[in-house]
């Protein structure tokens, strides 16, 4: 399975971006999938996770109500719609396979399952 990530960029606070994670070689529907972000000097943070059955997406508290994870089986693509962006959302965002909500921890995916990253920069 090969992942291609796109959609990052530089925006002003309050604006929106949509990240895309397109898969080839296998159906992304077969995988739990999520988005992980990492800012320089900070630990990685699981932003959103979506199970294979698309049951109850998980979002980290800081993005609830602003970010939406979704998948399009026909396009074999997973999206992260990011609205009302804040400077603290600035990070490199990675699409990750096998991403699951771990109670008490959040959204976790092993680093060897992370795909390419895309930079998101939000200025105030």
21-76 pLDDT per residue, tens: 999 999 999 899 999 999 999 999 999 999 887 778 999 999 999 999 999 989 99
Please tell me the predicted confidence (pLDDT) of residue 90.
Answer: 98
Closest CA relative to residue 28, chosen from 72, 94, 93:
72
d(CA 118, CA 93): 5
| Sequential DSSP letters for 40-59 | TTS--EEEEEE-TT--S-EE
- Residues 79-116 have pLDDT tens digits of 999 999 999 999 999 999 999 999 888 899 999 999 98
d(CA 94, CA 116): 6
DSSP, collapsed to helix, strand or coil, labels residue 12 as strand
CA end-to-end span of the chain: 37
pLDDT recorded at residue 104: 84
């Amino acid at each position: 399975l090969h992942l291609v990530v796109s959609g990052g960029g530089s925006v002003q606070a309050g604006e929106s971006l949509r990240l895309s994670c397109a898969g080839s070689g296998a159906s992304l529907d077969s995988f739990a999938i999520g988005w992980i972000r990492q800012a320089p000097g900070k630990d990685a943070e699981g932003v959103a996770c979506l199970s294979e059955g698309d049951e109850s997406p998980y979002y980290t508290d800081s993005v609830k109500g602003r970010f939406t994870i979704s998948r399009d089986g026909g396009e074999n693509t997973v999206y992260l719609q990011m609205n009302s962006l804040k400077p603290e959302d600035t990070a490199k965002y990675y699409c990750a396979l096998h991403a699951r909500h771990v109670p008490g921890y959040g959204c976790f995916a092993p680093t060897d399952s992370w795909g390419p990253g895309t930079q998101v920069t939000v200025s105030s």
